[in-house]
Structure 1
Amino acid sequence: MSKLENIKNNTLVNLQSEYQKTKIQDILDQLDKDLIGLVPVKTRIREIAALLLIDRLRKSLGLTSSNPGLHMSFTGSPGTGKTTVAMKMADILYKLGYIEKGHLLTVTRDDLVGQYIGHTAPKTKEVLKQAMGGVLFIDEAYYLYKPDNERDYGAESIEILLQVMENQRKDLVVIFAGYKEKMDKFYESNPGLSSRVTNHVNFPDYTPEELLLIGKLMLQDQQYRISDEAETVVLDYIERRMKQPLFANARSMRNAIDRARMRQANRIFASGNRVLTKADLVTLEAEDFLKSRIFAELFAD
């Protein structure tokens, strides 16, 4: 009887029990709670988690495993939840035993690349040392590569990263992140890097309706609300803001809310000595958003 037949005949695995032991579902549930929408992203994360769980079960039964690649690419616009998902991914990898510590270290080019000869290697190696046992999240990773500048040291950092990604796969998971178009070009220019990144997750922009819901949840956390009239104005604000430069999805929504709170405070302060109700203090009105520069053209002479 072959080894495989022996395993098949004598070993039972309760998949549900093994899954519950990992507590991965708690992480996925929290991801659903923390992030509105992003269904394709959440589906992809579940698929990766399922693959890793099955891989772990196969190893426990003595079956061969191809060691699934863990390095990832998160592409999408700013404010679409890439860092939040990376944190949850680190939790999943830790729960399944693929990394020892489970922490997430977020860096950019400035943390990795030096400004003079001999400076880049120590910087990159120090970052890698801090990230060992966890996940290294490199935001706007394409800035590491500047082919038009012969004196740039980003290529040196990439070479060190490649060596660690290949030789210390059990010690570190790297997630590269940034705009999709720029990341695609980044991978095209670095075949060695592209071959080591096996999991690609694209983060779509939020819809106006999703951003409105995100904004309402942000306000709820701060014990504020928006009036029914203000909801219509906020939706209009989002649609207008999305057409302008530097739009950053949930990040832009948070900035809009912060400014609206400031305008509400000024409005209340300017109202004089009238007695304020709790509703006055917690409610953002339409005018608190209409005073944004986004609506300036509506009130222009």
Structure 2
Amino acid sequence: MARTLLVSTRQHGAYPTLADALEIAESGATISIEPGEYRETVAVADSSLTLVALGEPGAVTLDATGLGRPAVSTRDATVTLRGLTLRCGDGQTVHASGGRLELTDCVLSAGYGAAITATDGAELRAGSCRITAGQYGIVCSDATGVIEACEISDVTDDGIIVRLGADPTIRTTTITRSGYRGVYVYQSGRPTLDSCEISRTGDVGVAIAYDSSPTLRSCHVHHTRGVGILVGSGCGGTIEDCRFEETAAPEILVEPGANPTISAARLTPAITTEDDGAQAEVEKLLGQLDAMVGLAAVKSEVRALIDEMQVNTWRREAGLSVGAVSHHLIFTGAPGTGKTTVARLYGQLLKSLGVLPDGTFKEVSRRDLVGQYIGHTAEKTAAVVEEATGGVLFIDEAYTLSRSSGGGADFGQEAVDMLVKLMEDRRDSLAVIVAGYTVEMSDFLDTNSGLASRFAKTLEFENYSPDELTLIAGRIAASDDYLLAPGLEDGLFEWFAGIDRGANFGNAREARKLLEGMRKAQSGRLRKLGRVPSRDDLRTLTLDDLLAATGS
């Protein structure tokens, strides 16, 4: 039978320190700790151990501040901690590598590190614990487990981090006053957050990035400086029956290339009818549109279109006549001005209004529509339209359809003629958006006498201003976990104000290309430091990086 060892500085026959008890403790032992403050650390490897605090809650403190190690560290061990107050003022407090770590009714605080870290396949079980300080609250990296009824507050960066395929279940847990994000899921993280509350964050409530697919169910996200939930490109997962209050717009921001399943997401107070739910979805999508940089005229035009469609729906429901309305649009302007993103949102808006059956979005170019022999083009075009029916068909650089490819017969005109017919035939189940440079698109509309009349409106996407490009660059950097050093925004503005805005100007693409160059410049700079860079070093882009990237 496993022994129970007593640690006490007052009781005769007890072990005066944890180190004394640990020295003779066999696997499976329980160490009971009398009230007091113990300036010690506990390290357990390939063994089983339980540490239990005696006395009133908070009466036993294990303080590792200044000792250079976590208060408790485990490796391939089974360790249980009950009722302890654990501190490490200059690093992480509890670390588990492999094995199983269980904490119940513990209070933790950390310095430059996480209060709890679970890595390398560890199973973490934390119940009714409080984390009151630290750089991070809990970090699960290639780990699993259950975090339930815990409270995390006043951490300087992220409340909970889940990464490297970790899949913990986090239930009824409160995260508040995080300096950065409430929950950050990245590098294929797959956690389940059930009935959690995330509030008063310095930025996003929940951020999802780098191929992650979490499940968020019945969570309440409120009073965040950033959006409620951010789903990055390439990410999926499920967001179900969550509530939002006093977040930045939109409540849920889904970046292009992300494909989460979102159901019954709502603002407080709860939506109670189907009509209210549809309206909330429309407002959410319009919020995503408003969150885009610039494009004031485009946003106004889209809102006007949505207003008209909404009124037509109400008129139809009231038994009033509604004239035939085309949902096809023309987007003109230079590359990198958000045309594809707006087209996706437009399709989702039409679905939310019940105008189109689903939110299908199919982007094609000339090669997807034009065949190589007589009859082939009509067949290809019809097949593409069939796939897009129910949603949006987006044709980028549409004017190339009317240009000969050279070297013999060209069937681009056949594709245009076929589109004109199908756009009319499927007017009620398809929205076709053609996009391209302004002058070229004007010429394109002249290639068929009925083409221009098929479109409801032309939306002109203007080039971004230097201020807007600076803001875009800042957003791209933030989404990739970079910070702009003081003075860098001014440098970016000067660069964007001075570059040539000719026919090949790429707008947001220029900002992304510049950030990529700056990251490469930062990598070279950090390699020359002669030391391992700090976390701030790794996150910060400087004016020197801009100068190196631009050759200035």
Q: Answer whether TM exceeds 0.5 for this pair.
A: yes
- 1:203 aligned partner, one-letter code: F
What corresponds to 2:153 in structure 1? Answer: none
Distance 1:147 1:267 in 2: 49
1:275-286, aligned counterparts within 5 Å? 275-286=532-543
Structure with more of its chain in strand, by fraction: 2
Change (3 A) 1:143 1:180: same
**What is the letter of the counterpart of residue 364 of structure 2?**
V
1:60 aligns with 317
- From 108, 114, 117, the counterpart of 2:371: 114
- Residues 77 and 178 of structure 1 are in contact (CA less than 8 Å); yes or no, is this contact kept in structure 2? yes
Give matches, 1:134-153, under 5 Å. 134-146=391-403, 151-153=409-411
Q: 1:183 to 1:219 in 2, by over 3 A?
A: same
Indicate the residue corresponding to 1:8 in structure 2: none
C-alpha contact (below 8 Å) 2:278/2:352 kept by paired residues: no
Q: Work out the CA distance in 2 between the residues paired with 1:51 and 1:157.
A: 31
**Deviation string for 1:114-149 (max 9, x for gaps)?**
233332122212211110111100001000102696
- 1:134-213 alignment, distance < 5 Å: 134-146=391-403, 151-213=409-471
Pair 1:70 & 2:332 matched: no
Query: Aligned pairs, how many?
Result: 277
Q: Supply the AA of the counterpart residue of 2:398.
A: A
Is residue 488 of structure 2 the alignment partner of residue 230 of structure 1? Answer: yes
1:211 is paired with a residue whose SS is helix
Cα deviation for residue 151 of structure 1 reads 2.0
Q: Which consecutive unaligned segments of at least 5 residues does structure 2 have?
A: 1-273
CA contact (8 A) 1:237 1:294 kept: no
Tell me if structure 1 keeps the 8 A contact 2:435–2:441: yes
Deviations 1:255-284 (A, max 9, x none): 110111111011111222x24222211111
Amino acid of the structure 1 residue aligned with 2:419: L
Inter-partner Cα distance in structure 2 for 1:103 and 1:41: 22
Q: Structure 2: how far apart are the matches of 1:177 and 1:250?
A: 17
Q: What letter is aligned with 1:239?
A: A
| Equivalent residue letter for 2:342 | V
Return closer, same or farther for 1:244/1:261 CA change in 2, 3 Å cut-off.
Answer: farther
SS state at 1:292 partner: helix
Return the alpha-carbon distance in structure 1 between the equivalents of residues 503 and 511 of structure 2: 14
Give the 3 Å change call, closer, same or farther, for CA 148–213 of structure 1 in structure 2.
closer
| Mapped contact 1:241–1:294 kept (Cα < 8 A) | no
Q: Distance in 2 between matches of 1:248 and 1:216?
A: 17
Q: Which residue of 1 aligns with 2:338?
A: 81
1:233-269 CA-partner distances (Å, limit 9, x unpaired): 2122212334356221111101110111111011111
Alpha-carbon RMSD across the aligned residues, in angstroms, is: 1.9
Q: Secondary structure at the match of 2:450?
A: helix
Where does residue 287 of structure 1 map in the other structure? 544
1-structure distance, mates of 2:320, 2:276: 19
What percent identity do the matched residue pairs reach?
A: 37
Q: Is the 8 A contact 1:108 1:139 kept in 2?
A: yes
Distance 1:242 1:225, change over 3 A: farther
Q: Distance in 2 between matches of 1:294 and 1:62?
A: 66
Matched residue SS, 2:433: strand
Out of 467, 478, 483, the residue aligned to residue 220 of structure 1 is: 478
Partner of residue 94, structure 1: 351
Q: Deviations over 1:150-192 (max 9, x none)?
A: 7210011111111111111112110011111111121133331
Larger Rg: 2
Return the match for 1:261 from 511, 515, 519.
519
User: Deviation at 1:84?
Assistant: 0.6
Give the AA of the match of 1:172.
L
Higher helix share: 1
> Counterpart of 1:191 in 2: which secondary structure?
coil
Match of 1:125 in 2: 382
Q: Distance in 2 between matches of 1:191 and 1:19?
A: 42
TM-score normalised by L of structure 1: 0.87
Q: Any conservation in 2 of the 1:165–1:196 contact (CA below 8 Å)? A: yes
Contact map agreement 2:521 2:549 (CA 8 A) in 1: no
Cα distance in structure 2, aligned partners of 1:19 and 1:73? 31
Partner of 1:37 in structure 2? 294
Q: Counterpart amino acid of 1:118? A: G
Letter in 1 for 2:461: F
Equivalent residue number for residue 11 of structure 1 = none
Q: Which residue of 1 aligns with 2:234?
A: none
The Cα of 1:19 is off from its aligned counterpart by 6.8
The code of the aligned residue for 1:90 comes to: G
CA distance in 2, matches of 1:267, 1:52: 54
**Any conservation in 1 of the 2:293–2:472 contact (CA below 8 Å)?**
yes
Report SS of the residue matched to 2:487: helix
